[in-house]
Chains A and B, each alone.
Chain A
Amino acid sequence: MTKALKQLQYQVFLLPILLVYTLFTIYPLLRSFVLSFTDFNGYNKDYNFTGLKNYMKLFADDAIVSGISFTLLFALLSTLIITVLAIPLALILDQNFLTKNIHRAIFFFPSIPSGLLLAFIWGFILSPVSSGVLNTVLRELFGVGPQPWLSDPLLAKLSTIVVATWASAGWHAVLYLAFLQAIPKDYYEAASIDGANRPQLIRYITLPLLAPAMTVSVMLLLTGGLKVFEVPFALTKGGPGFETHTITQVIVLRGITETQYGLASAISIVFFLIVLAIAYFQVTLMQKREERIQ
């Protein structure tokens, strides 16, 4: 009995965070689920239940289809590029050289200011007119004419991915760096005595022991990439046309701009399920990989 009471006492400490989490995450999610079956317009509290109508509309909508495809492209490509860049970067930053700390700070810096602010600055750099910073540099150095960085469908997609990569690669490198420093030096010494060279050390010791870091980093990148809003929005406002609309932007567009909260809630629910499925699949897969290579 006293043991149960003691247990209860600790449970009480969980209450505040449980309340906050329920209020700001669980409740809105359940509410969205209910609203996704209604014709709620955001102003009038008298709404009607419309059954599955919103869900039927969902896949016939150009903006949603376009939003899903760009978001998937963005999430997958940015995850891939950032991971490929962050691991070598972490290996370099792990070396002992004079300006090591300054270099770490420089690469970490882009993840400190808000994404929106960075994207607005990049907007000036990538400005499509001839006075844009990048276009000026290209003209002065190589005599290349102005390029439509943010207004050509393909270039606009690539530009947003490049900016997102620039902003996050340093942060993820620091994450890998933390895991790198936790690898015991004995392994390297033992391997060196056995005659392993540098590439072999990386291939057979560093990379396998970085697997847990990779699981975390890739999961953060994938879920963050799927939920992305600010960088594409600030750079292109979703244009040209629907080309760089993300799912989150479509939810705002259908919900707030067009006062179709029911439809926007339905998109949110489907989107939630997609993110859940991808995250679950990725974590299970990568944990299995961790077990296998360790």
Chain B
Amino acid sequence: MKKRAYLLTCMLLIALLLAACSNAGGSEQGNGGDGQAEQNVKISLLSWNNETEMKPVLDGFKKKYPHITIDFQSAPPVKDYIAKLQTMLLSESATDIFIIAAENRNEIIDGGHALDLTDQPFMDTMIESNKPMLSKNGKTYAFTQTGWVGGWYYNKDLFAKAGIEKLPETWDEFVAMCLKLKEAGITPLYDNMQDLTSMHSVLYGNMTLASDPSFDDKIFAGEKTFSDGWTEVFKLWKKDLIDGGILTPDMIGLTGDQIESEFTLGNVAMFFGGPWNISKLEATEGLNFGMMTVPGPNPGENYYVGAPGVGFAVNSASRHQEEALQFIEYLSTEEGLQLFYEGTGALITASNFEAKVHPALQTAFDEGLMAGKVYLPMVAWPRHQEALRNQFVISTQDMAVGKITPEEAAAAIDKKFEEMENK
């Protein structure tokens, strides 16, 4: 009896071991389906849009290609998605199709994980200004059909209450407007400084990039420093907004959701946002809102915050590259674009599509995104985006609580850059 129990235990252990081995072997080829019959293929997709958002386009694809089944997976942006894809790539179990974002493009492209899509016919529909973020050495590795632009949502009724009749065109007018709102007992602006602040980005566009569009490249080539380009931006922001009491350090503790709620409740006149806020703002009854950008000191050179949308890429280790390419090709068709828009509400920038833009975003879309007057540091920086972004957040918060000066804030970023270059 005992002997039998012992034998059984041993067998169970061996079986477990074998199962573990066979599993490891299988995962090497990615989430491959049953490839024995061509008309019945299963491909996998990892996206940061959730299933509800992707459903229309997935259903449309299934209708057109009934023999291809898509195993859909998603992880929310940004960190969760990046960590999930990274684990999958390292363990050689990445999906056939995944997305490349500004935050992980270097690692994915340099690691050779994405297929070169440059010469694919569907790439013609991708507008040129969307390509640099997803390219390296003249080759493009992902397809994006979207872009996004953000600015400051403002409450028209609160503006009217404070007697503001026209939107500011220069930085001084903007500061004066904020002070006027404050005098009227209205909180002008919330900014929680938890991300690289949008205010800094548009000021950098106006004060630095407008006169030298390749300034970021020069920083990364070692010809310029972050201090050269950002110190004046920080000084202006600190002097007028922090010392002027328009932004206060207590805002650091706010979450994005709280800021959005405060805006819909009419407790604050402005906040930074993008297309992702529209549905909530629209759903708020009686909220009369528009979007503007914050003008810089140089008139006529105003920037918005924005970037190409994330790109769909094909896993270079995939066994079903042909089918994966068919999916991306489908995304680029008019039908695919329409369905993608219906599901996600994203701003479609593909050249073969008439984009539908919410009226509040129209100016930002025309004068910012389509005119190329958008800036997002994470897209413009070729390396170390996350490390630098994090240092910007720390420096901004330290400046806001008065721990360091603008000069020290910029120097800390240069120090981080040097550290990352020599890591």
Residues of A within 8 A of B (CB): 9, 12, 15, 39, 41-45, 63, 123-124, 126-129, 131, 146-153, 156, 236-237, 239-242, 253, 256-260, 263
Contact = CB atoms under 8 A, between A and B. Distances in A.
Interface of B is mostly: helix
Contacts of A242: 394
A236 B6 CA distance: 54
Nearest to A126: B253
Nearest to B267: A131
B249 A240 contact: yes
A150 B252 contact: yes
B6 A9 contact: yes
Given A15-B13, A239-B194, A241-B397, A150 B253 contact: yes
Interface string B82-108: 110010011000000000000000011
Contacts of A263: 423
B9 interface: yes
Interface stretch (B33-41, B351-359, B384-392): B384-392
A129 B262 contact: yes
Contacts of B251: 128-129, 151
B150 to A, nearest CB: 20
Given A129-B262, A153-B401, A258-B384, A42 B86 contact: yes
Interface residues of B, number: 42
Given A12-B9, A241-B398, 19 more contacts: A9-B6, A15-B13, A42-B107, A43-B89, A43-B90, A43-B110, A123-B253, A124-B258, A127-B254, A129-B190, A129-B251, A148-B252, A151-B253, A241-B394, A241-B397, A241-B401, A256-B79, A258-B384, A258-B386
Contacts of B386: 257-259
A129 B194 contact: no
A260 B416 CA distance: 13
Contacts of A258: 384, 386-387, 390, 420
B213 interface: no
Interface of B: 2, 6, 9-10, 13, 79, 82-83, 86, 89-90, 107-108, 110-111, 190, 193-194, 249-255, 258, 262, 265, 267, 384, 386-387, 390, 393-394, 397-398, 400-401, 403, 420, 423
A156 B108 CA distance: 37
Given A42-B90, A151-B253, A239-B252, A127 B258 contact: yes
A39 B258 contact: no
Contacts of B255: 123
Contacts of B253: 123, 126-128, 148-151, 156, 236, 239
25 contacts: A41-B107, A43-B89, A43-B90, A43-B108, A43-B110, A124-B258, A127-B253, A128-B252, A128-B254, A129-B251, A129-B258, A129-B267, A131-B262, A156-B253, A237-B194, A239-B193, A239-B194, A239-B394, A240-B401, A241-B401, A256-B82, A257-B79, A257-B390, A258-B420, A259-B107
A45 B92 CA distance: 11
Interface of A is mostly: loop
Contacts of B82: 256
Given A127-B258, A131-B262, A257-B387, A151 B250 contact: yes
Given A15-B13, A39-B423, A43-B107, A9 B250 contact: no
Contacts of A42: 86, 90, 107
A5 to B, nearest CB: 9
A59 B194 CA distance: 26
A99 B213 CA distance: 71
Kindly name the residue among B10, B386, B401 whose own CB sees the greatest number of chain A CB atoms within 10 A. Answer: B401
Kindly name the residue among B86, B255, B394 whose own CB sees the greatest number of chain A CB atoms within 10 A. Answer: B394
Contacts of B111: 43-44
A12 B6 contact: yes
B76 to A, nearest CB: 15
B83 A148 contact: no
A259 to B, nearest CB: 7
Kindly name the residue among B194, B250, B253 whose own CB sees the greatest number of chain A CB atoms within 10 A. Answer: B253
A9 B2 contact: yes
A260 B420 CA distance: 9
Contacts of B384: 258
A9 B10 CA distance: 11
B158 to A, nearest CB: 16
A42 B104 CA distance: 11
A45 B394 CA distance: 31
A240 B253 CA distance: 8
A128 B191 CA distance: 12
A3 B123 CA distance: 74
A150 to B, nearest CB: 3
A260 B258 contact: no
Given A39-B423, A258-B390, A240 B254 contact: no
